[in-house]
Amino acid sequence: MRRLVRSYGASPAHLLTLLASFALAGYAGVRLLAGAPWQVAAWLVGAAVAHDLVLAPLYALADAPLTAVARRRRGNALHAVPWVNHVRFPAVVSGVLLLLFAPSIFRWSEGYERTTALSSAPYLGRWLLLTAVLFAVSAAAYAIRLRRARRRRG
Amino acid sequence: MRPLRLAARGPFRPGVFRSPLRGPWLTAVLGITLLGGLSLVLVTGLLSYAAYNPGLAGNDKTPDADLLGAYLFPWPARPHWLYRLNQGTHVTLGLVLVPVLLAKLWSVLPKLFELPPVRSVAQALERLSLLLLVGGGIFEFVTGVLNIQYWYVFPGSFYRLHLYGAWVFTAALAAHVVLKLPRAVEALRSRSFREVLHTDTAGTAPEPPDPDHLVSPDPAPATISRRGALGLVAASSLAVLLVTVGQSLGGAWRRTALLAPRGQDPGVSELGVQVNKTASAAGVRPEQTLAATWALTLAGGAGPVRLTLAQLAALPQRTSFLPIACVEGWSTEDLAWTGVPLRDLAALAGVPDPASVHVQSLQEGGFGSTRLRRNQVLHPDSLLALRLQDVELPLDHGYPARVIVPANPGVHNTKWVTSLTFEA
């Protein structure tokens, strides 16, 4: 038993849990892949790759200059109120909305209008306006914090 | 070990992930939140499959589900808002969980670039399971998000991909929960949530080193507090909720759903009522629906009964207040439908107590042919409707006659009905 644990690298319960999971995933997976096996497999793996190796590096890259600025400004009395998160908040919220609703915003669906009898035109404008509001609210919050900080310092 | 150290470049370099926020506590908070939300999304998803009554011939979009459909049961017709609530919850909560999912994945990202990539058979198997977890999870979110926006680029039928994908994801998630829940509970206990909510950026220190190496070996000073990061996730989820939930609440709320696919009211020709699929998209031509050519066939009894629109309108009429609720999560408030109760038509056909009814439409393919179960046919509010909101049905809402049944998925409220075959 101890030898098994050592050569496997974890407890037998670990192995049994994973085997049970793979069996169920296999049962469903056979059906999932039945129509277009290579394409569906590519979507499954592609989903993980698109997140881990495309989306995550992209947002990390976008955040890098903000992080750098934030660390440089730390302790600087002139910047008693850090502003970096006042950029991050609206940017992240707007980015999430873009990520979720890109097909509507960029009108990628060919059948939307014909199916729903609704216009596909308003979404880009709505997202831009929401983004504007998010940044404006964040800027206002920053201004208020700045004023309070100055008043506190007299 | 030396060659591996040489290979450690880019994200594999130790110390490349420097956020002081990463650690078991943060991952546990996000993980447990996600687990709670996903459980509800899973249950509502499985219920939605049952709502299609796949046990009736021709209804099942995934007839090879076999044991994955072992839990199926006859879908009830009351309360009348059951499907509306179920599907609104499934879609809205699914969308709202996306920021939590992204944050959870961010919190464990360094694990992807761990070196050596495989230390043991156990770890190799676990990494394979994680591929199913991450790939399957994102696959489910992506297919759902694309489907509600009518961008059908996924490889195959949405029903197949989303149902079977859900089981692959659930299998991997269940194993992940079994293997990680004890550690997550322990991590949650490692610091008080209240204290985190009272700690600002300056006071934010890394968690102590953990056996999973989530905590950075070389943490940088914090640029955002833990409460700030959790607040960012919560704000994103709240924003998603605010721009979508209106499409499920209906009425005056609909216009608040600024980015949801059903956040607009259609025009007066549709009575301002959401249309699941227009006549033109369903391939139904107006000339097929003319009173001179259209007739309803009632079958299943001794011989078929044919009724013109005028004859149908002369039968005793009833008004029911029922919503349209779509698998895509949007729905309408209760609308006034007027027509002939399905049970009256069953009696007229000579099958007063049918096991099911086969509904056929002018629409070819898709949902042009469906079956409803006994409880749905016999419910007094179930109608073959001729009028909506006190006017004649618009073509896009199914003129001359359509089915409307309480708690029924929208696509089973068949429009442009041509025949009802009551089956004993």
Instruction: Determine the pLDDT at residue B184.
Output: 97
d(CA B261, CA A103): 10
Residues from chain A that touch B152, judged by Cβ atoms under 8 A, are 109, 111
In sequence order, what are the beta bridge partners of B335? B322
Phi, psi at B402, each rounded to 5°: -140, 160
Of the pLDDT bands very low, low, confident and very high (cuts 50, 70, 90), residue B7 is low
Reduced to 3 states (helix: H, G, I; strand: E, B; else coil), residue B337 is: strand
Task: Please tell me which of the candidates A8, A31, A88 has its beta carbon nearest to residue B64.
Answer: A31
**DSSP assignments along B6-56, one per residue:** HH--GGGSTT----TT-SHHHHHHHHHHHHHHHHHHHHHHHHHHHHT-TTS
| Least Cα separation, residue A72 to chain B (angstroms) | 10
* pTM of the model as a whole: 0.96
> For chain B, how big is the Rg over CA atoms in Å?
27
Interface check B235 vs A, CB under 8 A: yes
Of the pLDDT bands very low, low, confident and very high (cuts 50, 70, 90), residue B326 is very high
Task: Please tell me which of the candidates A15, A32, A47 has its beta carbon nearest to residue B138.
Answer: A47
Write the ipTM: 0.95
In sequence order, what are the beta bridge partners of B305? B298
Instruction: Determine the pLDDT at residue A74.
Output: 58
Residues from chain B that touch A20, judged by Cβ atoms under 8 A, are 175
- Across the interface, whether the CB atoms of B129 and A50 are under 8 A apart is answered no
Instruction: Determine the pLDDT at residue B2.
Output: 43
- Across the interface, whether the CB atoms of B126 and A18 are under 8 A apart is answered yes
B372 neighbors B357 (Cβ within 8 angstroms): yes
Task: Please tell me which of the candidates A34, A56, A96 has its beta carbon nearest to residue B109.
Answer: A56
Establish, for the pair of chains A and B, how many residue pairs have beta carbons separated by less than 8 Å: 221
Q: Which residues of chain A have pLDDT under 50?
A: 77
Q: What is the pLDDT of residues B60-81, one digit of tens each?
A: 999 999 999 999 999 999 999 9
pLDDT at B336 over 70: yes
d(CA B69, CA B204): 49
CA B173 vs CA A36, A109, B179, B332: distances in Å: 24, 31, 10, 34
Interface check B264 vs A, CB under 8 A: yes
CA-CA-CA-CA torsion for A122, A123, A126, A128, nearest 10 degrees? -120
Query: How many CA within 13 A on the CB side of residue B103?
Result: 30
Task: Please tell me which of the candidates B112, B236, B275 has its beta carbon nearest to residue A117.
Answer: B275
Mean pLDDT lowest for which of B113-127, B156-170, B256-270?
B113-127
B29 neighbors B191 (Cβ within 8 angstroms): no
Strand (E) positions, B334-398? Answer: 335-341, 356-361, 369-373, 383-388, 391-392
d(CA B225, CA B198): 10
Q: What is the pLDDT of residues B9-41, one digit of tens each?
A: 778 887 789 999 999 999 999 999 999 999 999
Instruction: Determine the pLDDT at residue A2.
Output: 78
Task: Please tell me which of the candidates A57, A116, A126 has its beta carbon nearest to residue B259.
Answer: A126
In sequence order, what are the beta bridge partners of B156? none
pLDDT at B5 over 70: no
**Domain range list for chain A:** 1-35, 36-153
CA A45 vs CA A110, B47, B115: distances in Å: 27, 28, 21
Residues from chain B that touch A92, judged by Cβ atoms under 8 A, are 232, 235-236
In chain A, the residue whose alpha carbon lies closest to the alpha carbon of B171 is A21
Residues from chain B that touch A29, judged by Cβ atoms under 8 A, are 164, 168
Q: What is the pLDDT of residues B359-411, one digit of tens each?
A: 999 999 889 999 999 999 999 999 999 999 999 999 999 999 999 999 999 99
In sequence order, what are the beta bridge partners of B384? B340, B403
In chain B, the residue whose alpha carbon lies closest to the alpha carbon of A126 is B258
Q: What is the pLDDT of residues B299-315, one digit of tens each?
A: 999 999 999 999 999 99
CA B284 vs CA A114, B272, B280, B411, B418: distances in Å: 13, 21, 6, 15, 12
In chain B, the residue whose alpha carbon lies closest to the alpha carbon of A15 is B122
d(CA A46, CA A65): 28
Task: Please tell me which of the candidates B122, B261, B396 has its beta carbon nearest to residue A8.
Answer: B122
Residues from chain A that touch B98, judged by Cβ atoms under 8 A, are 96, 99-100
d(CA A81, CA A79): 5
Task: Please tell me which of the candidates A24, A92, A127 has its beta carbon nearest to residue B236.
Answer: A92
In chain A, the residue whose alpha carbon lies closest to the alpha carbon of B178 is A17
- Across the interface, whether the CB atoms of A48 and B134 are under 8 A apart is answered yes
Residues from chain A that touch B327, judged by Cβ atoms under 8 A, are none
Instruction: Determine the pLDDT at residue A77.
Output: 47
pLDDT at B1 over 60: no
Reduced to 3 states (helix: H, G, I; strand: E, B; else coil), residue B195 is: helix
Q: What percent of chain B has pLDDT over 70?
A: 98
Interface of B with A in 49-108 (CB under 8 A): 62, 64-65, 67-68, 95, 98-99, 102, 105-106
Give the mean pLDDT of B333-360: 98
Instruction: Determine the pLDDT at residue A68.
Output: 87
Task: Please tell me which of the candidates B137, B155, B258 has its beta carbon nearest to residue A130.
Answer: B258
β-pairing verdict for B335-341 and B296-299: unpaired
Nearest to A88 by CA among B20, B238, B232: B232
| Least Cα separation, residue A148 to chain B (angstroms) | 17
Mutate to test the interface with A, among B130, B139, B181 (most CBs of A within 10 A): B139
